[in-house]
Structure 1
Amino acid sequence: MKVLLYFEGEKILAKSGIGRALDHQKRALSAVGIEYTLDAECTDYDILHINTYGINSHNMVNKARKMGKKVIYHAHSTEEDFRNSFIGSNQLSPLVKKYLVSLYSKADYLITPTPYSKDLLEGYGIKVPIASISNGIDLKRFERSKTKEEKFKEYFNISSNQKVIICVGLYFERKGIIDFVELARQFPDYRFIWFGHTPMYSIPRTIRTLVREDHPKNVEFPGYIKGDIIEGAYSAADLFFFPSYEETEGIVILEALASKQQVLVRDIPVYKGWLKDKENCYMGSTNEEFASLIESLIEKKLPNTCESGYEVAKQKSIERIGHDLKEVYETVLNRGHTNESEQIYLKN
């Protein structure tokens, strides 16, 4: 079995969750002994596993079909998570949905990160079988490291008595960036650091202004940072606060859980079945609730859920994801032409 992993615009998307998902796929396939290639000109593969949605991606699918290859589309995106992101995204979202449905329907099988996103896709009327498989997490990479933590503290000049709250994400309203800044205003003694970057020309003016100037002094936007500094931040911070309104999974949450960090998220449907309030994380719905939870968690007035959160990350390790991907590949190859009514369900 040989798989062509195709990823259009890799440099552009490398800083996003989709970019990290490709890296996880490569490592997952290596872990279970599946040969793969990234060479789009390759012709001796058995399955095209495609992750992106541009015109070249569309052409790759058509090319694979003409050669009689099997096609698996990794459905990272939905209409719901396209909204409240780039300029004009809300106006374009119905067209994006129509385009995604057209692309996804060309596949023999779909893979999507969570049961929630699987339900959304089925609600679009897509008849292609869908498997829910997490994007996975590299547990070793996010093990607590004093060296990494010191690099993070030195980079940001964090003193021993400072309380630090972090988030990682693109500069999208959907990610809860407005709420992040608003809550920071209520806690001037805490440092709020938002890691991540989005080209300013692509986001609405309100978000550009928020990032550039309209935020209190205790909020920092250092941009996209990788390696020891961000990995040290995950474990050295006092809280990972992710107020996103819509996700298909949220790789950054898995990274925080793998770091044994205390996690606070918005109570949204995507977390149903794997995140549980007061058990492996804390959840809120309004800024009033978040304010109360932030203060209580930072001041250690609530029980710590880090160990239980780590158990969630363990269930989504790259090695486990590799076995799930292998099962889908074998299903597609062994069944010949996929019957639209056939489904398999993978439990993560």
Structure 2
Amino acid sequence: MKISHYFEFEDHVTGGIRESVVHQRKMLDRLNLAYTVEPSLEADVLHCNLMGPRSVWYAKRARSRGIPVVANTHVTAEDFGDSFRFTNALAKPLKPYLRWAYGLADALVCPSAYNRGLIETYTDTPTRVVSNGVDREKLEGFESLEAAYRERYDLDPPTVFLVGHVIKRKGLETFVELARRLPELDFAWFGPLDLSLKGRETTALIEESPENCTFTGYVDDIRGAYAAGDIFCFPTHEENEGIALLEAMTAGKPVLVRDIETFSWLADGEDSLKVAGSGVSGFEDALERLTDPELRSRLGTNARRRSEEFSLETVADRYQSLYEEVV
């Protein structure tokens, strides 16, 4: 079996979508499945990760030739807003386009049950939930970077942190306000800033954040973020899954999340702490609780155990069975 594993705009797209594609290709290598990263009509399966115009062109021709098409549903109109400049304006027309584009596939791969529920309002194309997974090997040895990264960004434990592109949808307002309310704690957001792509409100939040709130920009070794951070605070309003969350759990960090449907699989008080509603006070109270090292240790240990079910070794078999089914 040969897979055409195509990622349109591969040279331009970063963040979670790129990480998911990297994970998928590592899983294909693990499964010893032959694949090309070019769109091809000489393969047994055409697997598209972003349904841009070139992917749609190949999907239509693949179906006309009887080649099954698999597509990942990384992008939804709900997830697209409050990301970068102009994305709110584009979110509305994006939905009918995605309904059409996803409808060209024979099977859709959804990273979570929540994402699947959204996609089923778009199209009746069969769906399968397959996690983006977490690359446990990528994080090996992260502990050795703690001293260097704490010194580099002047961070004292317990440091509240987040990993990923700095965008409003991920709870930027809450993160900054928490830093303002809790000046005794250091806050660090590790990830690209791309201020030229931000709207005015997002830029103002970053530039007017308090002194104890650090935006590191691009980090050359992301393991350093998980070494220097102690409490993974993820107040996102909308998420398809959250690879950084899985990485934090794999690193044994306690995770604090907004209680949204995406995170329904997490157990409050066992492998995470959850905060209901859109306010900041609940997060403030939770962070004050997490200054207790015993609570951090217990939640972090349970989070690490829970993350094992998302390892690439486990997820790979689901791709194998999906390809066999569509062929």
Q: Which moved more, 1:176-185 or 1:143-152?
A: 143-152
Relative to structure 1, is the Cα distance of residues 5 and 194 closer, same or farther in structure 2, using a 3 angstrom cutoff?
same
Relative to structure 1, is the Cα distance of residues 291 and 301 closer, same or farther in structure 2, using a 3 angstrom cutoff?
farther
Q: CA deviation at 1:43?
A: 4.1
Work out whether residues 197 and 224 of structure 1, in 8 Å CA contact, stay in contact via their aligned partners in 2: yes
Match of residue 5 from structure 2: 5
Match of residue 322 from structure 2: 328
Distance in 2 (alpha carbons) for counterparts of 1:22 and 1:164: 30
Match of residue 19 from structure 1: 18
Matches within 5 A, 1:287-298: 287-298=280-291
Q: CA deviation at 1:276?
A: 1.1
Letter aligned with residue 137 of structure 1? V
Among 267, 274, 293, the alignment partner of 1:276 is 267
Letter aligned with residue 223 of structure 2? E
Work out whether residues 139 and 313 of structure 1, in 8 Å CA contact, stay in contact via their aligned partners in 2: no
Residue-by-residue CA offset, 1:206-233 (whole Å, 9 max, x unaligned): 101222x211111111112142xx2132
Residue-by-residue CA offset, 1:292-334 (whole Å, 9 max, x unaligned): 111110233746211211122110110111100111111100x
Matches within 5 A, 1:194-273: 194-211=189-206, 213-227=207-221, 230-272=222-264
Match of residue 170 from structure 1: 165
Work out whether residues 4 and 47 of structure 1, in 8 Å CA contact, stay in contact via their aligned partners in 2: yes
Work out whether residues 171 and 203 of structure 1, in 8 Å CA contact, stay in contact via their aligned partners in 2: no
Among 188, 211, 218, the alignment partner of 2:183 is 188
Relative to structure 1, is the Cα distance of residues 198 and 103 closer, same or farther in structure 2, using a 3 angstrom cutoff?
farther
Among 83, 86, 104, the alignment partner of 2:84 is 86
Matched, 1:147 2:144: yes
Work out whether residues 32 and 319 of structure 1, in 8 Å CA contact, stay in contact via their aligned partners in 2: no
Work out whether residues 75 and 112 of structure 1, in 8 Å CA contact, stay in contact via their aligned partners in 2: yes
Work out whether residues 149 and 227 of structure 2, in 8 Å CA contact, stay in contact via their aligned partners in 1: no
Q: CA deviation at 1:187?
A: 1.4
Work out whether residues 85 and 173 of structure 1, in 8 Å CA contact, stay in contact via their aligned partners in 2: yes
Tell me the SS of whatever aligns to 2:187: strand
Match of residue 54 from structure 2: 56
Q: CA deviation at 1:62?
A: 2.8
TM-score by length of 1: 0.88
Q: CA deviation at 1:174?
A: 1.0
Q: CA deviation at 1:69?
A: 1.8
Match of residue 133 from structure 1: 130
Relative to structure 1, is the Cα distance of residues 224 and 11 closer, same or farther in structure 2, using a 3 angstrom cutoff?
farther
Q: CA deviation at 1:148?
A: 2.4
Distance in 1 (alpha carbons) for counterparts of 2:90 and 2:23: 30
Match of residue 345 from structure 1: none
Tell me the SS of whatever aligns to 1:96: helix
RMSD: 1.8
Tell me the SS of whatever aligns to 2:290: helix
Q: CA deviation at 1:139?
A: 1.4
Relative to structure 1, is the Cα distance of residues 184 and 157 closer, same or farther in structure 2, using a 3 angstrom cutoff?
closer
Distance in 1 (alpha carbons) for counterparts of 2:36 and 2:273: 40
Letter aligned with residue 214 of structure 2? E
Work out whether residues 238 and 298 of structure 1, in 8 Å CA contact, stay in contact via their aligned partners in 2: no
Q: CA deviation at 1:10?
A: 1.5
TM-score by length of 2: 0.93
Letter aligned with residue 10 of structure 1? E
Work out whether residues 190 and 225 of structure 2, in 8 Å CA contact, stay in contact via their aligned partners in 1: no
Letter aligned with residue 130 of structure 1? T
Higher RCO, 1 vs 2 (CA within 8 Å, ≥6 residues apart): 1
Work out whether residues 191 and 219 of structure 1, in 8 Å CA contact, stay in contact via their aligned partners in 2: yes
Among 64, 68, 74, the alignment partner of 1:70 is 68
Tell me the SS of whatever aligns to 1:141: helix
Distance in 2 (alpha carbons) for counterparts of 1:233 and 1:199: 18
Letter aligned with residue 138 of structure 2? R
Matched, 1:96 2:94: yes
Among 287, 293, 297, the alignment partner of 1:300 is 293
Distance in 1 (alpha carbons) for counterparts of 2:229 and 2:214: 14
Letter aligned with residue 307 of structure 1? T
Letter aligned with residue 327 of structure 1? S
Letter aligned with residue 207 of structure 1? T
Residue-by-residue CA offset, 1:244-295 (whole Å, 9 max, x unaligned): 00001011100101111111111000111x2111111111133101001111
**Structure 1 portions without partners, runs of 5+:** 334-348
